[in-house]
């Protein structure tokens, strides 16, 4: 399982981090770091709860078994955040 | 209620006799429940037009669904937040910053301030916040078995933390709270007077910190650079006024409504007292049920939004307390369920203007409830008294006398 992170939608509510600080890492401003998150076995429930806590719907759970870890292009947050 | 002319482009069938200022339960009401009162907005169409729905008596579109509020607040190109709510009280048009700037200008200021109120920074503030809560509650319990929660706890607690953050001494507390009260709940004479005092105070503080820098927010602002330049006097004023006003009233109001709820619902009160681990989750539910603010945007262009013919210049109201009672978003929205999970409420808004102080506000509410419940035995609304609630731009509660004799 992986969490697809839509960085442009993150507004720094940090609800995911409040649920699972080891899975959802924030930058110094309190916004989620760029890049999708590959979830380890045993952390899937916590990770999906964290993803479901986002008020902006910035986190998407990808449960396809074929999902492989592909580091997303590192891109800075947009000026909007 | 006051009736303004409804603009010609608003279909008559979309106009509703609803107002956050004048509807039943919105003016000062003994034992009122203004949040429950506005839930009636969901009895009609998801978007409607209210002819009188701002502090200065303007009409607004009212967005009732949480999903639609999300769309409005995330789309800053169509729904601008530059509407000079504060400065218009003075007949002026400058923005409070970053709230009333739109992207991309907004981003630089937001990035400047975000680290100061980030989750990590707030974690570091926690011991001081807790110490302040304990000191105030101990002072109350030392000599009494009842108190006026707003005067004796909610305001001194939240405002003093905030003043420390701003770098201001505690002795100004009553004066500042008085200004905030006049600004948010005062009449047409009191509001501009309070606004003028706040502006003069912020301007003077900025001048002062330029001359004598100390370790506080205003010094940080006057020394800060964005895009390779120092901030202008107007920008410094815009930031100072916003931070000052935002911190004075909202968290205290939230704590007041929360304690009023617990005073009237003894089972829930006892549950949180005996199992304090539940307070974290319960706070989210109380934020959902009793958020104090409405957000206003102004349309930058004509748009047909979910069936509403919104035209350039129209005001659009996203009241957090209405979204938070949306039956399409929340199961049994009018029931307070302190164990509610997956609670993606709108108390801090959506989009780039998500409340900058949200992390501090949350910690203050959690800590305030934890320490209050740990130190005060079963409390009720004092017999013969009635808390007075009000709606408006910021919902409020006063005369909340709790008794634990």
* Interface ipTM: 0.92
Answer yes or no: is A70 within a domain. no
Angstrom distance (rounded) from CA A34 to CA A40: 18
Instruction: Report the relative pairing of strands B401-403 and B380-381 from DSSP bridges.
Output: antiparallel
Three-class secondary structure of residue B136 per DSSP? helix
Nearest residue of A to residue B102 by CA position? A80
Does this model's pTM top 0.90? My answer is: yes
pLDDT digits (tens, 9 = 90+) for A25-40: 999 999 999 999 999 9
Answer yes or no: is A67 within a domain. no
Answer yes or no: is A28 within a domain. yes
Q: Contact at 8 Å (CB) between A25 and A44?
A: no
Instruction: Report the relative pairing of strands B60-63 and B315-319 from DSSP bridges.
Output: parallel
Using a CB-CB distance cutoff of 8 angstroms, which residues of chain B are in contact with residue A52?
Answer: 342, 344
Count other C-beta atoms under 10 Å from residue B11's C-beta: 12
Using a CB-CB distance cutoff of 8 angstroms, which residues of chain A are in contact with residue B117?
Answer: 30
Answer yes or no: is A29 within a domain. yes
Answer yes or no: is A73 within a domain. no
DSSP per-residue string spanning B254-289: HHHHHHHHHHH-HHHHHHHHH-GGGHHHHHHHHHHH
Answer yes or no: is A77 within a domain. no
pLDDT digits (tens, 9 = 90+) for B231-269: 999 999 999 999 988 888 899 999 999 999 999 999 999
Kind plus residue range of the DSSP H or E element containing B196 = helix B190-211
Question: Cβ separation of A78 and B107 shorter than 8 Å?
Answer: yes
pLDDT digits (tens, 9 = 90+) for B321-341: 999 999 999 999 999 999 999
Answer yes or no: is A11 within a domain. yes
How many separate domains does chain A show? Answer: 1
| Proportion of chain B above pLDDT 90, given as a percent | 88
B38-52, B160-174, B190-204, B293-307, range with the lowest pLDDT: B160-174
Question: Cβ separation of B70 and A49 shorter than 8 Å?
Answer: no
Q: What is the DSSP letter of B293?
A: B
What is the rounded average pLDDT for all residues in chain B? 95
What is the rounded average pLDDT for all residues in chain A? 85
Which tokens belong to A25? 């890492």
Nearest residue of B to residue A58 by CA position? B351
Contacts of B63 by beta carbon, 8 Å cutoff, 6+ apart? B46, B47, B69, B72, B316, B317, B318, B322, B323
Question: Could you list the residue range(s) of the whole structural domain that residue A10 is in?
Answer: 2-62
Answer yes or no: is A71 within a domain. no
CATH number of the domain encompassing residue A29: 3.30.70.20
Q: pLDDT tier at A76 (50, 70, 90 boundaries)?
A: very low
């Amino acid at each position: 399982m992986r969490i697809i992170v839509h960085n442009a939608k993150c507004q720094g509510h940090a609800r995911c981090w409040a649920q699972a600080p080891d899975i959802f890492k924030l930058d110094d401003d309190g916004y989620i770091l760029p890049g999708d998150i590959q979830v380890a076995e045993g952390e899937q429930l916590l990770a999906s709860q964290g993803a479901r806590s986002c008020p902006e719907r910035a986190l998407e759970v990808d449960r396809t078994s074929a999902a492989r870890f592909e580091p997303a292009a590192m891109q800075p947050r947009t000026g909007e955040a | 209620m006051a009736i303004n002319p409804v603009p010609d482009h608003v279909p008559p069938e979309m106009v509703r006799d609803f107002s956050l200022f004048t509807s039943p339960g919105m003016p000062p009401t003994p034992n009122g429940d203004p949040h429950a009162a506005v839930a009636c907005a969901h009895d009609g169409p998801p978007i409607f037009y209210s002819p009188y729905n701002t502090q200065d008596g303007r009409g607004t579109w009212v967005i009732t669904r949480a999903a639609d509020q999300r769309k409005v607040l995330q789309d800053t190109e169509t729904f601008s937040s530059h509407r000079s709510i504060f400065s218009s009280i003075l007949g002026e048009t400058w923005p409070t910053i970053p709230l009333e700037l739109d992207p991309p200008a907004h981003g630089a200021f937001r990035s400047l301030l975000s680290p100061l109120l980030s989750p990590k920074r707030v974690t570091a503030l926690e011991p001081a916040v807790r110490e302040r809560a304990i000191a105030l509650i101990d002072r109350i319990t030392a000599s009494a078995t009842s108190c006026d929660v707003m005067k004796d706890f909610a305001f001194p607690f939240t405002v003093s933390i905030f003043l420390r953050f701003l770098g201001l001494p505690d002795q100004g507390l009553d004066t500042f709270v008085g200004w905030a009260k006049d600004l948010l709940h005062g009449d047409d004479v009191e509001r501009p007077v309070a606004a003028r005092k706040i502006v003069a105070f912020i301007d003077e503080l900025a001048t002062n910190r330029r001359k004598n820098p100390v370790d506080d927010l205003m010094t940080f602002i006057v020394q800060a650079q964005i895009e390779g330049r120092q901030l202008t006097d107007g920008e410094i004023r815009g930031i100072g006024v916003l931070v000052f006003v935002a911190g004075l009233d909202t968290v205290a109001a939230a704590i007041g409504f929360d304690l009023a709820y617990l005073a009237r619902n003894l089972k829930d009160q006892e549950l949180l007292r005996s199992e304090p681990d539940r307070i974290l989750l319960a706070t989210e539910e109380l934020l959902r049920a009793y958020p104090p603010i409405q957000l206003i945007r102004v349309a930058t262009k004509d748009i047909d939004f979910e069936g509403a013919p919104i035209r350039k210049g129209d005001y659009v109201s996203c009241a957090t307390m209405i979204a938070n009672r949306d039956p399409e978003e929340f199961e049994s929205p009018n029931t307070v369920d302190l164990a509610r999970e997956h609670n993606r409420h709108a108390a801090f808004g959506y989009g780039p203007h998500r409340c900058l102080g949200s992390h501090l506000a949350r910690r203050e509410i959690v800590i305030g409830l934890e320490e209050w419940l740990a130190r005060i035995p079963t409390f009720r609304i004092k017999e013969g008294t009635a808390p007075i609630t009000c709606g408006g731009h910021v919902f409020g509660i006063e005369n909340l006398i709790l008794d634990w004799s």
